[in-house]
Amino acid sequence: MKNVAVVGSQWGDEGKGKIVDWLSSEADVVVRFQGGHNAGHTLVIDKKVFKLRLLPSGIVRKGKMSILGNGVVIDPWALLSEIDEIKKQGVDVTPENFMISEAASLILPFHQEMDEIREDAAGKGKIGTTRRGIGPCYEDKVGRRSIRVMDLRSESNLDNRLENVLQHHNAIRKGLNKKVFEKSTLKKELLKIAPELLKFAQPVWLKLDQFSNARKRILFEGAQGILLDVDHGTYPFVTSSNTVPAMAATGSGIGPDKINYVLGITKAYTTRVGSGPFPTELNNEIGESLGIRGKEFGTVTARKRRCGWFDGVLVRQTIKISGIHGIALTKLDVLDELEEIKMCISYDLNGKKIDYLPAASEDQFNIKPIYKTFPGWMSKTQGIRNFKDLPDNAKKYIHALEDFIGAKISSVSTSPERDDTILVEDPFNN
C-alpha cells in the first residue's frame, strides 16, 4: 500500500485533473492540501465534463472520501455554490464522502476586494492573480487573525475573531478611502451559512491517521504548479502558498513518512497564466497553434494561457526541489503536427551559460533559452494507449526528455479522455 502526492511540475495547468481522476479509481481518500478556488481542474468522464475549483477530484467517484485540508483557504459561499452545481450533475456531496478541516481559514468578502484593489493599483507590476482573495486570506492566516471553520461554532468566539480581523482590514480600507466592513453584517452572513459548512467540519489530521492505520490508500491532490510556489517559484509572480509536495503533509496534518510516492504532472510543452517570466514563451504562430490545439484556457478564469517549448531546465529543477519520483507526461498529442520540436537545455544570462533558474526576478526576465531540436513525428498520437504504438520520433522525444530531467516517465497522456493514457508505472503499486 502506497500513498501518492500529485503536484504540477511547471506553472500549473499541466492536466492534473485527468491524472488525479485516473488515480482516484485506485484511491480510497483524496485530499487537497493547499490553494483555494483559484485553481481549477477539468475532468472528462464518459464525455461528461466536470469543472472543479475547490472540491477534490475524487468527489465525482462513488465510495471515495474527499477532503479539504487545513492548508486550503476556503471561500464558504464559493464552496457551497460549487456543491450545488455538482449536485445538479448527479454527484452526491454529503458528510459521508466529503469533509473539511476545522482548522482551514475562510476567505471573506474583504479579502477578495483587497485582492482586486492591489491588482488594479499595481499597473505593470501586476502579479496576475485570479482576484479571488487567496493571497490576503493567507496573509491573515500568517498574521494570526484569520477566521477559521471552527470559529463558526461559537457566536461569541466569531464575534471576537471578527473584531480582530476587521480592526486590521478596516484601518487599511480607511487609508484607501474605501467603505469599511460592518462586523454585524458579516457576522450575520456567516452565521447564516455556518450550519451548512459545519456539517462537513472534522479534525482532518485525526481522520487521516485513522485512514492510514486502516491501510486506506490516500491521494494528495496539489493545485497549481511548483514554479508558483511562494518559496521556490518565480517570485514575486507566484501564488501565496507552498505548492511543493512537502506541503501535502503540512497542509493536511499527516506525517511526511506517510507520503510514499510523488508524481509530477508535466505538460509536453510549457504554458503559463498571468504575468511573470517565461523563458521559452513563443509569441508566434507556433505558440498560437499550441494554444489552439491544446485548448489553453483557464478552468476558473477562462484566461488565455501563454505557450512555449518544453523547458527541461525548469522541470529538472522542480524535480530536485520536490523529490518527484515519476512524471506523468500530458498533452503529447498537441505536438502531433509540428515538423520540429524544441527543448530548452540551458540558459544564456548576459553571455554566461547557466543550467538553473536564477532566483532574482530581473535575471529570470533576462535569461535566453538554449535549445536542442528534435524532429517531429507528423502523425496522430491522440488516443494511443500503448507505448510501442507511438511514432518513433515521439518515443525519441519522450526518452530524451526523461534522460534530461532525471525522472522516469510513469505515464503518457494522449487526450483529455481518462482512458487515453499509456501506463508505464503505477504509483500506487510501484
Say how far apart CA 187 and CA 295 lie, in whole Å. Answer: 42
- Burial class of residue 323 (count of CB atoms within 10 Å of its CB; 0-12, 13-18, 19+): middle
**Single pTM value for the model:** 0.92
Q: What is the pLDDT of residue 282?
A: 97
Say how far apart CA 74 and CA 313 lie, in whole Å. Answer: 34
One-character DSSP codes across 293-306:
HTT-B-TTT-PBPE
Q: What is the pLDDT of residue 125?
A: 64
Which residues of the chain are under the pLDDT cut of 50? none
Which is catalytic among the residues 37, 41, 169, 325?
41
Cell numbers given for 277: 517570466
Say how far apart CA 68 and CA 80 lie, in whole Å. Answer: 13
Q: What is the pLDDT of residue 122?
A: 65
pLDDT digits (tens, 9 = 90+) for 155-177: 999 999 999 999 999 999 999 88
Say how far apart CA 430 and CA 427 lie, in whole Å. Answer: 5
Q: What is the pLDDT of residue 6?
A: 95
Residue 41 appears among annotated catalytic residues: yes
Alpha-carbon dihedral 104, 110, 116, 122, rounded to 10 degrees? -90
Q: What is the pLDDT of residue 176?
A: 87
Q: What is the pLDDT of residue 77?
A: 97
Q: What is the pLDDT of residue 48?
A: 80
Residue 37 appears among annotated catalytic residues: no
Reference 226, options 200, 205, 247; nearest CA is 247
Say how far apart CA 8 and CA 223 lie, in whole Å. Answer: 7
- Burial class of residue 121 (count of CB atoms within 10 Å of its CB; 0-12, 13-18, 19+): exposed
